[in-house]
Chain A
Amino acid sequence: MAKESGVLLQVDKMKTVFQTQSGYIEAVNGISFHIKKGETVAIVGESGSGKSVSAMSILRLLEKSGKVSSGRILFKDINLNELSDEEIRKVRGKEIAMIFQDPMSCLDPVYTIGDQIIEAIKIHEDLPKKEYYSRAVELLQLVGLPDAKARMSIYPHQLSGGQRQRVMIAIALACRPNLIIADEPTTALDVTVQAQIMELLKKLQTELGTAIILVTHDLGVVAEMADRVVVVYAGQVVEESNVIDLFNKPEHPYTEALLQSVPRIETNKNERLMAIKGSVPSLYDMPTGCRFHPRCPYASEICRQEEPPLMNLGENHYSKCWIKEKDIKKVMQNVNHNEQEDIEIIDSPHFGKHQNKKILEVHGLKKYFPITKGFFSRTVGYVRAVDGLSFDIHEGETLGLVGESGCGKSTSGRLITSLLKPTGGSVTFNGQDISRINRHALKKVRQRIQFVFQDPYSTLNPRMTVGDIIGEPLEVHRLVKGTEKYARIVELLETVGLTRNDIQKFPHQFSGGQRQRIGIARALATEPDLLICDEAVSALDVSVQAQILNLLRDLQQKLGLSYLFISHDLNVVKYISHRVCVMYLGEIVEIADSEVLFQNPLHPYSQALISAVPIPDPEGKSERIILEGEVPSPSNPPSGCKFHTRCLIATDTCQTQQPDLKEVSPGHKVACHNY
């Protein structure tokens, strides 16, 4: 890469190593990229690809065991890697600032936000006392916190997640840095808040001309924000290009697969997702040659033997792949596609039909958690987590449940499985009211309703083998014993795509995707009718997420399962569900067939939610409805229509009267006064 004019930061063959018990491991293996003034460069990759470590390496913010072992990091012609600790401290915050993922843990809870912003200025600038204060107020106004003066004396816990992220941005901007490194700045936020923060970052960039390095795994965010994209895989750059070329004609097979494995709003539901087989290699065990070859559909002998160089394909488009002749690639792609189609065609007998009988009916379901205070635990109020929920699920159907955090979607799942006792309402499963049955009968029902949890890391007991984990439901319900049990466990493992050799392994020996498969196998052990998937793919990388989504759909085909699919990811919900419920503050605001809902959302909240989802297409930037504020607290919900505080078309009626869920067309219900 030749040095061009206006280059702000040039990272050149940077290697970062960590010392571990078994020697040094390379987290970053020779990454090079540059960023110009006022530009946004996105570093994209899956977990473990080294994207965050690269970002931290620039400012040498690594843990003690890690260090940049070779390469240069040139910032304004100074090699940051050669600076002393004292010198680099002057660069941090002043020249290059960072925004972290989790705004909850990055602010010190014992200082006011004003103090924390002032501290950031004080470290680098010597000003008269009054000016610190006015600068801080200015910064808060800049990041769009209303009533900035009053907010100066507020503590972090008094702010919501989105507001805290704004404060973090204000701190990052405190000394007008030339470069901001934003490590997953919106990942921990809800979609509607994410949209606000992305708008803010873009606005600030045009106003202040700051360059941004955006580290993210979300291709939607990349398409929205970035000018250029650097794709990293296993500690190496595999492709670099401007954003439009990258999305339109990805060159590296990994980029290509990554783009195809994300379900989009327009993805055809009857197609399988293109999944990348396997998972990201461990740092301890890197493949030889091209690091992507074990997962690459085009891999040939040379890929296994030799590592490809980063090849220039013209127009500043680089790809680290041996296959550069487009035609050859096309041919291979065709061969490959044929192969894939043989295995991966799905036609769906159950799909799209829900005349089948109802398997689950939920009516007026409520859950109030008491808020207690004082020595005698007086109840002073209630958190209305779920407030009158009604829906039903048919046999072989997938019902999606979407909403932002705190809307009560996970609580609903737990109420249906009686992990929590409802405050009111009924849950009828196969014609039996299960919200008020005794323990014995409940155990029988639990055999038929199973749960797939979000986090595949923490839902498996670390001290049990996979065989014991999957065998547990069989034991609990005394279904099979001895050799029969073993045979059943093997069968289950094979159903979810694992092998019989995995039976005596422990959970920590598996990757995230494989653990989720174990979780699914456990859920299937009792041959249930209904699976409740609570954010079942949210903790997984996109390439693995596609595998699990495909698996869930295959299982539905094969076993005729019904799913209640709870997720905050609208694209995933759209892809997998037949019908979708949109929840807001414990209530359903809209329910419709998924195609209908996404094409013609009626409720203002559904409209905003759907438009807030970042679309992985840099040219298809649609007009976005940006909602003000954040979800109110469920302990003190607004009167009337709960959404009226954020609604753009709210009238006086909305403030006083609660709208009912009305059927506007067959199967499409909405709770809004405008319909």
Chain B
Amino acid sequence: MLNTIDQIFIKAKQIILDILSPFLPEWMMILISIFIVIVTLCVFGPVVMMYLTLLERKFIGRMQNRYGPNRCGIFGLLQPLSDGIKMFTKEDIVPQKADPFAHFLGPITVIIPSLLVFSVIPFGRNMIPSDLSIGILFFFAVASTSTLWIFTAAWGSRNKFSLLGGMRAVAQMVSYEIPMLLSIVPALLVVGSFSTVAIVNAQEGLQWFVFTPWGLVGFILFFLTGVAEVNRCPFDLPEGESEIIAGFHTEYSGMKFALFYMAEYMNAFSVSALVTTVYLGGWQGPILPSWLWFFAKTFVLISIMMWFRGTFPRMRVDQLMGFAWRGLLPLAFINLLAAALWVHLSFPLNDILSFCILTVSVLMIYVANRKVAPKKRIYKYAYE
């Protein structure tokens, strides 16, 4: 029974294929089997995005002592749909001096990476669109291209604020890409494979990586850099309303604007999904079906992102860069070292040693980054 629920989506796909198989040639069946997965993902992404916006509005509303949207349908469940209709019917404004091609290309292409990365995420046991042997590498390679399209959109708008936002996006992505990749390397080192399925299989039976010293640090590093990578608060400098209007999407309206939003929320989902996969054991978990475990963990991480958004003010550019280069990057390197020691030593020693190394290094990084206020100079003879 449990096994049936666990594999319910696989079974559903198999039933559809069984119905069609007498009528179609074999090569067609392969195409249809691929097609089903693609359609599911392309529907799943936008639907998740729509309901994440609702969840976020409700969540932040409660933090600000008000109800979120609750007028449209029960609990406001139809709100995303009505927002979608509104976005479709809005006028699409292209500035006179904008580069029409780049202005059009930006929002269309920015959602492609966010949809593509879903293909390597294991949503449950046997539930992965394509088990690439270089899954993690594919994820990062594809996800980082979204920066290019953000910059295309910003450049094509021919607006100072858009361009500033786009440049900030690029600077931020470049700085955070390095600690992000380095924070995931320890997990790859321990598992010995780039495949997401192999990583999840290595965390069988509550042996989640987050319960080891290097895993905890790696999880925090990866989550923070992930938040920065998808431009969410408090790292949402590219669209800082108080400084540069709306950043790279200043000149966008209607459905093009909605596409940027869609990309942002789908990125938030996919990064949370990857953090879950790598450090929180993916779909591994007792009793409940595997896909339920996966979505529960992912939504907890997304809620934490929303919690951050409800709490923190936006960082300054220098704080943002300092945090990445002086805090996260050295810690990521030391974490790699700790993980390497953890792999090579035996049980009680490895945990203790890596824990000690990480504690000392966190303290040292903290001390090294402490703000030193210079003594106030007193000018003795200046006014005499």
Chains A and B come from one and the same complex: no
Interface residues, chain B, with chain A CB atoms under 8 Å away: none
Interface residues, chain A, with chain B CB atoms under 8 Å away: none
